[in-house]
Amino acid sequence: MNTELSRFAMNKSIWMFGATCALTLVALPALGYREGPPAGVTGAPGNRTCAQAGCHPGTAAAGTNVINLSAAGGATTYAPGSGKIRMMLRIVDSQGVRFGFQATARQGTGDTTQSGRLDAADTRTSVLCGNDSDRPSAGCPASAAHEYIGHTNANSTNSFSFDWTPPATDVGPVSFYIAANASRGSQNNSQIYALKITFTPAAGGGGGPRPTIPTGGVITANQFGGFQSLSPGALIEIYGSNLAPRTANWDSAFQGGRAPTSLEGVSVTINNQPAFIALVAPGQINALVPAGVGVGPTTLRVTTAAGSSDNFSVTAAARTPGLHTHPAFRSGNTQYVVAYHTDRAFVGRTGLVAGAATRPAKPGDSIEIYGLGWGATDPDVVPGNLTPGSPLHRAPNVTARFGETPATVQFAGRSPGLAGVYQLNLAVPSVADGDHQLVVEIDGVRVQQQLSITVQR
């Protein structure tokens, strides 16, 4: 291996999940309302708020584009009498450290009647009756018939699953009321979201509902900036409904070192060019932007066996550079970049991330940082292809500063053996002890994230 590079031992699957999978080995502290909420705090008719119940202070914010609920076969329809449906819930909040939720299903006039049956899919969730007791095997009593499914312990992952058995007959629209919590570090420092999602009876025949993408449903990878604009080779996250029949990833789908352009019958085009599909799920797709998308306004479209989504307007740029971050590397109002020493310890003050080895950088240390969306390199690599180890594929005119002090860029370019990933190797400059703003530019395009790094002799 070239001595300019400190090779990061990881495989391509690390990068396919965007906000949901990086640093999964870091043990985060138990924060938030960790033992599960009391029954009846979903925002449904007759429910209390979290503040009234004593879970968390404050008023719930609208959960649009934050709470994503999807179901196998379609996120907005149900088939009466179809048996259990696996529901997938995702909370999109880049500042969250621990996550939790509670949901209930309602039908009828005023959404006052329990609809179907809720069941835990694993030990991370449980079901309560309206009287705040665990649901017995015979079901909730008539006096407390409403069922509430929620987290049993606050989780560092922002995704949950549970089962819903729809009513045996067509009861009309069914409303899921969901309250979600994204803890910033304590029970009293949380953001609560609330959302109502309505499912309608599926029409007979056909291939199911077409995919839909809501406003704000396409961003670059959340942990690398979550920008609205995209660029060739950037990893994007697409959120919506009916995006895929089931969950799958690209791990076994590479052919000849090239990523797939379709998984589970799902494809994405941007400016009529096929994107490379890293992950599909009913409520989310991760994809690498292809070449040829141009610069300026263009359109994105998702296609499944049920049809194509409406054209979704996006803006393309030559570069949309981002650097790796994670909620565990946030302290108060300061977001630290995820950087590595040559021995793979994280750069940061001691104890910054519970359960992980961290130590500050010293002047003269070599550190390594990963990024996405840096655009073309010399020589370039076709987006979707694994980057070969030789020759090195360098990004143009990369500069880095610790505050106003320039840092020596040892290498900046595509990371060998990976698709769509870039790496930056720096020598820490001689600066005072403390936190410094990290400023990085690629060919004149500045990384827009506000990131810090800790130096201590």
Any idea what the Cα angle at residue 300 is, between residues 296 and 303, rounded to 5°? 165
Residue 288 DSSP SS3: strand
Separation between Cα atoms, residue 394 and residue 282, nearest integer Å: 37
8 A C-beta contact, residue 44 and residue 104? yes
Integer Cα distance of 414 and 425 in angstroms: 11
Token pair of 144 as six digits = 């407390």
Bridge partners (DSSP) listed for residue 159? 90
Q: Where are the alpha helices (DSSP H) in 14-136?
A: 50-53
CA-based end-to-end distance of the chain:
30
* Among candidate residues 398, 399, 400, the one with its CA nearest the CA of residue 376: 398
User: What is the chain's Cα-based Rg?
Assistant: 23
CA distance 441 to 293: 22
Per this entry, what is the length of the chain? 457
- Using DSSP, state whether 109 is helix, strand or coil: helix
Which residues, other chains included, contact 161 with Cβ-Cβ below 8 Å and sequence gap of 6+?
A: 86, 87, 88, 89, 121, 122, 125
Residue 377 tokens, joined: 């390199």
Closest by CA to 158, choosing from 250, 88, 61, is 88
d(CA 99, CA 355): 19
Does residue 158 contact residue 193 with C-beta atoms inside 8 Å? Answer: no
255 CB-near residues (< 8 Å, 6+ apart): none
Contact 176, 115 (CB under 8 A): no
Q: CB under 8 Å to 272, separation ≥6 — which residues?
A: none
Q: Which two tokens stand for residue 10?
A: 């990881």
For residue 213, the tally of other CB atoms under 10 A from its CB is: 21
Each residue's pLDDT, cut to its tens digit, for the chain (457 residues) gives 333 333 332 333 333 333 333 332 232 232 333 467 889 999 899 998 776 776 776 567 887 888 888 765 445 677 776 667 888 888 988 888 888 899 999 987 788 899 999 999 888 899 999 999 999 988 899 899 999 999 987 777 888 889 898 887 778 889 999 999 888 766 567 888 889 988 887 654 334 688 999 999 999 999 999 999 999 999 999 999 989 888 899 988 898 899 999 988 899 999 989 999 999 999 999 999 999 899 999 999 998 877 788 899 999 999 999 999 999 999 999 999 999 999 999 999 999 998 899 999 999 999 999 999 999 999 999 899 999 999 999 999 999 999 999 999 999 999 999 999 999 999 999 999 999 999 999 999 999 999 999 999 9
Model pLDDT, residue 206: 37
Note the CATH number of domain 218-316.
2.60.40
Are the folds of 31-201 and 218-316 the same?
yes
Tokens of 23: 């640093």
Name residue 438's amino acid.
Answer: L
DSSP state of 441: E
C-alpha–C-alpha distance, residues 107 and 114, integer Å = 6
What b/e sequence results for 226-249 when a residue is b if at least 16 CB atoms lie within 10 Å of its CB, and e otherwise? bbebbbbbbbbbbbbbbbbbebbb
178 in Cβ contact with 61 (< 8 Å): no
Q: Would you state the pLDDT for residue 21?
A: 31
Given the candidates 3.40.50.300, 2.60.40.4060, 2.40.40.20, 1.20.1300.10, the CATH classification of the domain at 31-201 is 2.60.40.4060
How many other β-carbons are positioned within 10 Å of the β-carbon of residue 188? 11
Instruction: Extract the tokens encoding 91.
Output: 């909370």
What strands lie across the sheet with 218-220, from one edge to the other? 218-220, 235-239, 284-288, 276-281, 248-249
**Cα-based distances in Å from 377 to 317, 381, 383, 429:** 15, 7, 11, 25
Query: Hunting for tokens 């990976």 — which residue is that?
Result: 418
pTM of the entire predicted model: 0.60
Domain boundaries, the chain: 31-201, 218-316, 322-455
Cβ–Cβ < 8 Å for 384, 258: yes
Q: By the 8 A CB rule, do 87 and 162 touch? A: yes
Report the distance separating Cα 363 and Cα 429, nearest Å.
Answer: 5
Angstrom distance (rounded) from CA 433 to CA 435: 7
pLDDT computed for residue 306 by the predictor: 77
Tokens 């179901």 sit at which residue?
71
